[in-house]
Each structure stands twice: as structure tokens, then as C-alpha cells.
Chains A and B, each alone.
Chain A
Amino acid sequence: MALFAPSHTSVIPKHEEILRLLIQNADPYVIPPFYLGLKFPGMVLMLNQIKRLMSPMLLLACISFNPFLLGSPLPGSEQASNFTYHSNVSEVRLVFFAKDEHNRPIQELQKDDFAVIDDDAVIRNFRSFNRSPLTKLDVVLLIDSSESVLAQFKQEIAEVQRMISEAPWSPEDNLSILTFSGVEAHILCAINCRGSFLPDQLASLPAEGTTPLFDALEVATNLLTQRRQPDAWPVIIVFSDGDDTISKSSFRDALREIQMNEAQVYAVDVNRPGRQSNGTAMLQRFAIDSGGRWVGMGQGSAEIFQEVIDDLHSAHVVTYPLPDSNSEFHSIRILPTHNLKLQFRCRRGYYHHSSTHKKEEGL
């Protein structure tokens, strides 16, 4: 009886309280052996001795009765397995490109080298940061065959042909070719144009009619969206002067479609170099706002395609929780946290439909 000394009795309620809480709140089949021992008051005071002898046995007993380890169903576990837990995760997933002061892709970029500005909010805590899992290209080549490009059309076609035949395509890459003139876009060939396409088809194209550029961009975006694959990077390479003359869609409609469907536009400006036109400004906006690039046709098709390939291989992906905002459109920008010479490029924004409480993520 001397074992029930006051110093010990004060301990018992404390442990029992812990035990009570554990039994109330936890699954009884996963209570640690130590607390199973405490459940019986007689064992409490000899705990140290008992622990040495009994612990392996208790552990064995616990394992024997643990349904998770045995895999045997428990009464009521069938009912529990019928539950499906749903959770809405509001997360932004952003693909971006980083270059150093010499315009070379950064191979060793770290998570704390940059911050994302999402609708003015500075975000530094990311859920994940990785190299992009994109491994192949899904390209739609849009060729402006309207009257307005008549003077440069031969060169435009020559560059397109060179890009198809000479660029370092990977065997898994997809290429579709569309032309646009008159009132709509026309599909010349889809998905596997590199194998099936005949150069004569391009050479015989007439340059005539109006310029439905915005409609053509929407058609190209929808084409990419229909056959979307997780490891394919949707790219639109558009050869045009940028002067839309007839589209049903507006510039904003086309840009919105591109941004919502996460395509990237590489605009090849067929206007004469050094001449700033409205069309050039349009092409620049499409390229910059989608995270792509704008280049002059004088740079050559090899250079243009190399830009695409470089981007594919140097892309990073970052994810972060969706910041609060009242607007449907979130503008995004990436800026350095330490080295101000680093340059980052990504799409300029994404759409989020808060009214449905679902995340329409953008890249």
C-alpha cells in the first residue's frame, strides 16, 4: 500500500486525463502501447518495471489488433470506406522562364530567388517549385495569307517551309498548320503536318482577302485545347502583320481565350523592320501577355524556333494558394528577390471564376 504515496497519486489523474482525451479523440486501435498500460491503475505504479517486460508484448498485442496493419475489416469500417472526402484546392500554377544578365537560361534557380506579384500581392511562400514537366510541343502554325502581306508573302512562306523542314523537332512534337484570309481560318493539315505536309501546298497559297487574325487565334487556341495533354506545351506561332480587318472577335476576346486556355503565342512580325505599326503593337501584346515572344521575320525561322525550344527546356513551374481578389482577372508578374539582373517571363495574368468557388487556374 505504501506504493500509493501522495507523490504518485498526483501523477495518476494527469495520465488518466491524457488517456481519456486520447480515447475520446483518437481511434482506439491506434492508441500507443504506453497508454494502454496506463488504462489499468494497478499497472501504473510499476510502470517502469512493467514497461521493460510488457512493452514488447503490448506492442505485439497492438499490432495484432490493429486493423490497418492486418488489413482485416473492422465493424463499421465498411461504412467508413464509403465516405469520399472532397476538398476544393484553390491553387495557381504558373509556368515561367528565367534568364540571367547575359540572356542565358538559369539552370540552378532557387525557390527564394523570385517572388510572384499576383494582383499586387507579393507572394514568396510557394506550395511547390519544380522544373516544368512539359517535354513535347503541340504547335499550331498560323499563316497570314491575306492581301495585306502580299509584298512579304514569298519570304513568309519560305520561312515557314524552312521551319517545318529544318527546325530541330522532336519525334513526339505535334504540328498543325492553319492559314487565315477572307473571313475565316482554314486548316491545311492537323497534328502530324511534318510527316504529311507537302511544300507545294504552301507555295500555291494565294495572298488575298481580308485579315481575320483574332478569329484565327481563337480557332488555333480551341484546336490546342481540344487535344490537350499534360506533358505537351501548347504553342501558337503566328506569321502576320497584325492588322486585323474583319474578325468577329475582338482583340480582348482573342487574348482572353488564349490566356484562359494557357497557350503561348510566338508572333513573327512580317512588317518591315523599324516600322512601328498598329499591327506590330497587337502582335507584341499577344506575345507578351501570353508569356511568349515577338520577333521580326528578319531574325529567321531557325532563330524563332530555337527560342521556342529554349523556353521548353528552361521552363519552371511554381504553385501557390490563390490570393484573395475581387476581380475575375489576376495580373501576374515575377520579380527577383536578391539579384535584380535576373529576368523572368511568364503570362501576364489568368482568369479565376470566384462565383463558382472553383479555381480556373492559369499558367
Chain B
Amino acid sequence: MKKMSCLLVFFCSFPVLLAAQIGIYQHGTVVRMHMGDCVSAHRGFMVAFGGPAMPASEDVCPEYTLVSPKVVYVIVGKFSNQLIPLAESIDFRLHNNELAVRVDDARHESKFMIKEMIVRSEWDRVQRHIQEAMNTSENRKAERVDEQ
């Protein structure tokens, strides 16, 4: 029985350990997080052209913006309390159209749906633009206050 459970644990943790050893994990940083609508796993062609829509779930799921050196991912959890550790650097890999994040120092992975992907340089450009727009807006407000 003991051997069986040892084997079971080994096989369960094998993909994670293997992935860690091969070094296929990428590194990234979560820079934004908010609770948004849960993305249905069945969203797509069949839902759009199929029969009457299922009643929308009112659940909220965590949505993270994960910045890696080349690509920025917006990922969504599958349930409301699917959290990932918000350390400076987290390990993740792409697996079957999902993004698997290593949680608790390789004990297990947590899988997230990918909502958006954007090239890092493009994302940086958009962020700069947003920052400039906010600075301009702040300056205008300050000028208005000074005038008053």
C-alpha cells in the first residue's frame, strides 16, 4: 500500500518535476490583478452558433497580467479563489492552450486560461501612452486648481 501511494505521488508530481528539470519554465512577473468575469471553457464557435445561451454565471474569477521578457499574457482563473503567488518572479509554461503556473516552489501547477497575448514591446508602448495621458490629465487638473 505504501509503495502504491509512493508511486502515485511520484507519477502525479512527475510532469512538474520533469518540467522543472528540463528547464522549460519561463519567468514572468504579475503586474496587475483584478476580479473579472469567469471565462467559460466552452466559449467559442459552438457557443456563438449553437442553441440558446446558458445563463451567465455571476461568479468572478481572478484575472492577472503576466509580463514575461517577450510576451505579455492576460490569464484568467477557472474559479474565484484560484490565486497565484505574487512573487517578483514566477515560473510558468504553456501547456495545451493554457498557462500553467508553478505554485509553492514546484509542488504543483495551477492552470489558467489565456485571455489575451500581446508582444512585450507593443505592451510597453501602450503603457507609456497611458502614462503620458494620465500625466497630462493630472497636470490639467492641477492647472485648473491653481487658477481657482
Partner-B contacts on A (CB < 8 A):
112, 114-115, 117, 120-122, 124, 324, 326, 335-340, 354-357
Given contacts A115-B86, A121-B32, A326-B134, 10 further A-B contacts (CB under 8 A): A120-B33, A120-B34, A122-B32, A124-B88, A324-B134, A336-B85, A337-B85, A340-B103, A354-B141, A357-B145
Taking chain A's interface residues, is the majority helix, strand, or loop, or is none over half, making it mixed? mixed
Which residues in A have their C-beta under 8 angstroms from that of B83? 335-336, 340
The tally of CB-CB contacts under 8 A between chains A and B is 53
Which residues in B have their C-beta under 8 angstroms from that of A122? 30-33, 86
Which residues in A have their C-beta under 8 angstroms from that of B137? 326
Cross-chain contact of A338 among B32, B85, B142 (Cβ < 8 A): B85
- Name the CB-closest residue of B to A358: B145
Measured CB to CB, the closest approach of chain A to B45, in angstroms, equals 31
Q: Mark B33-74, 1 if CB is under 8 A from A, else 0.
A: 110000000000000000000000000000000000000000
> Roughly how many angstroms separate A153 CA and B83 CA in the complex, as a whole number?
42
B122 within 8 A of A: no
Q: Which 5 A-B pairs give the minimum distances between C-beta atoms?
A: A115-B86, A337-B87, A120-B34, A120-B32, A337-B86
> Roughly how many angstroms separate A338 CA and B85 CA in the complex, as a whole number?
5
Asked if residues A355 and B141 are in contact (CB atoms below 8 Å), the reply is: yes
- Name the CB-closest residue of A to B103: A340
> Roughly how many angstroms separate A324 CA and B133 CA in the complex, as a whole number?
11
Measured CB to CB, the closest approach of chain A to B111, in angstroms, equals 15
Asked if residues A336 and B138 are in contact (CB atoms below 8 Å), the reply is: no
Given known pairs A340-B83, A340-B85, the reply for A335 and B145 (CB within 8 Å) is: no
Which residues in B have their C-beta under 8 angstroms from that of A121? 31-32
Measured CB to CB, the closest approach of chain A to B140, in angstroms, equals 10
Which residues in B have their C-beta under 8 angstroms from that of A338? 85, 87, 104-105
Which residues in B have their C-beta under 8 angstroms from that of A354? 138, 141
Which residues in A have their C-beta under 8 angstroms from that of B33? 117, 120, 122, 335
